[in-house]
Amino acid sequence: CSDSINKPVLTLFTKKPCPLCDEAKEVLEPYKTRFILQEVDITLPENSVWYDKYKYDIPVFHLNGKFLMKHQVDIQKFEDQLTRVESQN
């Protein structure tokens, strides 16, 4: 599974329930082979720093640890950033 080593990591800051997060994941579905999706539940005690930061903004996405977008998927921005990260690997 060496292929996944170089894949960008898309982090989704979320909580349950989150209809907007579900919607965002559907929008990203066609791209899912190009990144690793990591979900962070901001309501867990160990994620309180993210809860304080994003409680009014989820879904929030980070790409390889850098803030990418929030509230909804900006597909053009996502594609541009994903392609840029892929070309750096």
Residue 31 has pLDDT above 70, yes or no: yes
| 69 belongs to a structural domain | yes
Q: Is 3 among the domain residues?
A: no
pLDDT at 65 over 80: yes
CA dist 33 → 3, 4, 48, 51, 58 (Å): 11, 9, 30, 28, 23
* 62 occurs within a structural domain: yes
Q: Residue 16 above 60 pLDDT?
A: yes
* pLDDT over threshold 70, residue 52: yes
pLDDT of amino acid 4: 58
**In this model, does residue 1 exceed pLDDT 80?**
no
Tokens of 42: 């901001």
CATH at residue 19:
3.40.30.10
Q: Global pTM?
A: 0.92
**Domain total in the chain:** 1
Structure tokens of 71? 């509230």
Find out whether 14 and 59 touch, Cβ atoms under 8 Å.
yes
Of all residues in the chain, the percent with pLDDT exceeding 70 is 94
Determine, yes or no, domain membership for 1.
Answer: no
